[in-house]
């Protein structure tokens, strides 16, 4: 990328939700990296494809990267044998500048890229194994300063875009509440409760043999509906606010995420990851809620599970970080969200001058909190157990700034809409202390808010009630 970046004050504060719905709700290629409806710090970024925007997608099975121009279909597309990490790395900086998104790429790395980063076996996904949109203009919201800034790379029409967008922002009106639609469509679970319990037992057998210490076993829900991504995401962020949310709409595929977990943050030569392992639902009363939080923090099983993943992430980052720079500044903290309490730790490291940001991403991907330990063996076992692809779920999404700054969240608590319907992934870490009924209930707790915004009944599978759920 070349050309000076212009930044123009857009005037008074506007709610990002109103701005996205009004200015970008009808765009086919649009993004919203969202700090949440109640954010008092952090940044949100909103934008769409411009005439010069490239879209690159990756296919792990063929080892190819495809480049197209969403707003210029007349330019056709190119396909090359390449790594998506190498293609992206050629277009971003070294990650030693200031943080924040200073234009660059927005998109996702799907879970099946594990084949490229680890050599593990994977299934063929329905969606691209990676998809990244080149962003050359956007609206940036600073939640602490309460400012709205138009950011655009200089081009023949940059000034025109700035003036049009500034005028459009002044006309944005608050969005009227939407009545949530109910669906009679029944969700289909890849593994019903009985089969999932059997998979948990097989995972236990692997652990008893010493093949793994922990396995992040997942399930998938498919629903035959075609909801509007913008309406559903606006409902999702209102009912399940988080600091790493996002809506990415790339053609006929949309990712709607209420992710609570940061995968990697890179700026000024420092990489941070915040793995989550350990979950409890929120309580119906203050006393019950506090008791559940305390139970999570005191659980030997949950604490051991979290520490295992901390060690795994320390190992992943240690392979590429400056020697002796890997630290754990926070261990076993509890973060509370609208539907769950989570056990969270923080791992930090310094990036050596010889490493680029995408080298760090590739070294740590997929995140240990979504695989188990040891990672390579866990990936192979999970491939055998799960019986299908995870797709975008369990991957990572966010931005790769032109400066080399990186902010990627885990694709969890997320909805994917594609031409065949809706999919939701859910799962949990299986250890020697795991109880099948508890693990199955955890998978349901994690998807309850997602099913609710889709208007779908919360049920385990169409065959009937789950006898393992308490």
pLDDT (mean) for 290-295: 93
Catalytic site residue 277? yes
Q: Return the pLDDT at 459.
A: 60
For 181, what's the count of Cα atoms within 13 Å in the CB-facing half-sphere? 10
Which domains does the chain carry?
A: 5-190+222-265+391-425 (3.60.120.10), 270-350 (no CATH)
Using H for helix, E for strand and C for coil, what is the string for 76-101?
Answer: CEEEEECCHHHHHHCCCCCCCCCCCC
- The pLDDT confidence band at residue 184, using thresholds 50, 70 and 90, is confident
Q: Tokens for 365? A: 């991907």
Residue 430 per-residue DSSP state = E
Q: Return the pLDDT at 80.
A: 97
Q: Return the number of other C-beta atoms located less than 10 Å from residue 243's C-beta.
A: 18
Q: 103-159: per-residue pLDDT in tens?
A: 999 999 999 999 999 999 999 999 999 999 999 999 999 999 999 999 999 988 999
Please give the radius of gyration of the chain, using alpha carbons only, rounded to the nearest integer: 21
Average of per-residue pLDDT values in the chain: 93
Measured in Å, how far apart are the chain's first and last C-alpha atoms? 56
More confident residue, 1 or 162: 162
Q: Return the pLDDT at 279.
A: 87
Q: Are 247 and 108 in contact (CB under 8 A)?
A: no
Judged by DSSP in three states, 3 sits in: coil
Instruction: Output the CA–CA distances (angstroms, integers) from residue 390 to 54, 277, 377, in the order listed.
Output: 26, 19, 17
Q: Which of 112, 136, 220, 261 is catalytic?
A: 261
Q: Tokens for 380? A: 């192979």
Omega into 374 within 30° of 0, i.e. cis?
Answer: yes
What percent of the chain is predicted at pLDDT more than 70? 97
Q: Are 191 and 385 in contact (CB under 8 A)?
A: no
Q: 416-449: per-residue pLDDT in tens?
A: 999 999 999 999 999 998 999 999 999 999 999 9
Q: Are 357 and 396 in contact (CB under 8 A)?
A: no
Alpha-carbon span 357 to 396, nearest angstrom: 15
Catalytic site residue 295? no
Q: Are 272 and 264 in contact (CB under 8 A)?
A: yes
- The pLDDT confidence band at residue 305, using thresholds 50, 70 and 90, is confident
Q: Return the pLDDT at 93.
A: 83
- Where do we find the tokens 């490493």? 355
Among the listed residues 452, 404, 381, 7, the one whose alpha carbon sits nearest the alpha carbon of residue 223:
452
Per DSSP, the residues of 356-409 read: -HHHHHHHHPSPGGGTEESHHHHHHHHHHHH-S--TTTTSEEEEEETTS-EEEE
Instruction: Output the CA–CA distances (angstroms, integers) from residue 111 to 366, 388, 396, in the order listed.
Output: 6, 12, 8
Would the pLDDT of 463 be above 50? Answer: no
Would the pLDDT of 268 be above 70? Answer: yes
In this structure, the chain runs to a length of: 470
Would the pLDDT of 466 be above 60? Answer: no
Q: Which helix (H) or strand (E) holds 285?
A: none
Q: Tokens for 153? A: 């790379």
Q: Are 310 and 443 in contact (CB under 8 A)?
A: no
Instruction: Output the CA–CA distances (angstroms, integers) from residue 83 to 90, 110, 327, 332, 470, in the order listed.
Output: 11, 14, 30, 36, 46
Alpha-carbon span 24 to 110, nearest angstrom: 24
Q: CA-based angle 181:14:262, to the nearest 5?
A: 70
Judged by DSSP in three states, 466 sits in: coil
H-state helical runs in 258-354: 286-298, 300-318
Q: Return the number of other C-beta atoms located less than 10 Å from residue 28's C-beta.
A: 12
**% helix, strand, coil for the chain, step of 5:** 30, 30, 40
Would the pLDDT of 206 be above 80? Answer: yes
pLDDT (mean) for 295-315: 91
- The pLDDT confidence band at residue 462, using thresholds 50, 70 and 90, is very low
Instruction: Output the CA–CA distances (angstroms, integers) from residue 156 to 37, 74, 385, in the order listed.
Output: 35, 20, 54
Q: Return the pLDDT at 200.
A: 98
Q: 7-28: per-residue pLDDT in tens?
A: 999 999 999 999 999 999 999 9
Alpha-carbon span 298 to 291, nearest angstrom: 10
Would the pLDDT of 237 be above 70? Answer: yes
Would the pLDDT of 468 be above 50? Answer: no
Q: Return the number of other C-beta atoms located less than 10 Å from residue 363's C-beta.
A: 17
- The pLDDT confidence band at residue 373, using thresholds 50, 70 and 90, is very high
Give φ, ψ of 329 to 5 degrees.
Answer: -70, -25
- The pLDDT confidence band at residue 180, using thresholds 50, 70 and 90, is confident
Q: Which of 277, 305, 439, 441 is catalytic?
A: 277
Q: 40-86: per-residue pLDDT in tens?
A: 999 999 999 999 999 999 999 999 999 999 999 999 999 999 999 99
Would the pLDDT of 467 be above 50? Answer: no
């Amino acid at each position: 990328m070349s050309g000076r970046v212009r930044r123009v004050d857009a005037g008074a504060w506007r709610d990002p939700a109103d701005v996205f719905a009004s200015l970008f709700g009808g765009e086919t290629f649009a993004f919203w990296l969202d700090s949440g409806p109640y954010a008092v710090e952090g940044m949100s970024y909103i934008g769409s494809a411009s005439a010069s925007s490239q879209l690159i997608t990756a296919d792990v099975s063929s080892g190819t990267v495809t480049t197209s121009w969403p707003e210029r279909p007349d330019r056709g597309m190119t396909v090359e044998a390449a790594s998506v990490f190498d293609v992206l790395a050629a277009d971003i900086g070294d990650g030693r500048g200031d943080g924040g998104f200073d234009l660059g790429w927005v998109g996702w790395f799907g879970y099946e890229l594990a084949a490229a980063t680890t050599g593990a076996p994977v299934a063929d996904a329905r969606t691209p194994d990676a998809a990244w949109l080149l962003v050359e203009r956007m609206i940036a919201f600073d939640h602490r300063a309460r400012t709205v800034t138009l950011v655009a790379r200089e081009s023949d029409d940059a000034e025109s875009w700035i003036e049009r967008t500034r005028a459009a922002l002044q006309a944005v009106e608050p969005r009227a509440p939407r009545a949530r639609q109910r669906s009679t469509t029944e969700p289909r679970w890849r593994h019903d409760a009985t089969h999932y319990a059997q998979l948990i037992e097989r995972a236990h057998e692997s652990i008893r043999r010493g093949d793994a210490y922990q396995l992040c076993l997942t399930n998938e829900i498919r629903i035959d509906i075609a909801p509007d991504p913008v309406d559903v995401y606006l409902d999702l962020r209102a009912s399940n606010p988080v600091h790493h949310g996002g809506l990415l709409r790339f053609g006929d595929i949309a990712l709607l995420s209420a992710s609570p977990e940061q995968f990697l943050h890179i700026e000024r030569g420092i990489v941070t990851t915040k793995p989550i392992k350990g979950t409890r639902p929120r309580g119906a009363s203050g006393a019950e809620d506090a008791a559940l939080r305390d139970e999570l923090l005191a659980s030997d099983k949950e604490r051991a599970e979290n520490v295992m993943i901390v060690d795994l992430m320390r190992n992943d980052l240690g392979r590429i970080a400056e020697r002796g720079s890997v630290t754990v500044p926070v261990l076993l903290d509890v973060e509370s969200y609208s539907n769950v309490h989570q056990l969270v730790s923080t791992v930090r490291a310094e990036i050596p001058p010889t490493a680029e940001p995408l080298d760090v991403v590739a070294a740590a991907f997929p995140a240990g909190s979504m695989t188990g330990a040891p990672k390579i063996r866990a990936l192979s076992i999970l491939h055998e157990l799960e019986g299908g692809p995870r797709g975008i779920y369990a991957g990572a999404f966010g931005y790769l700034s032109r400066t080399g700054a990186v902010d990627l969240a885990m694709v969890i608590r997320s909805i994917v809409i594609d031409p065949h319907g809706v999919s939701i992934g859910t799962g949990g870490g299986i250890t020697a202390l795991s109880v099948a009924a508890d693990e199955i209930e955890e998978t349901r707790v994690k998807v309850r808010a997602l099913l609710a915004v889709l208007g779908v009944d919360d049920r385990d599978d169409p065959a009937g009630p789950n006898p393992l759920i308490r």
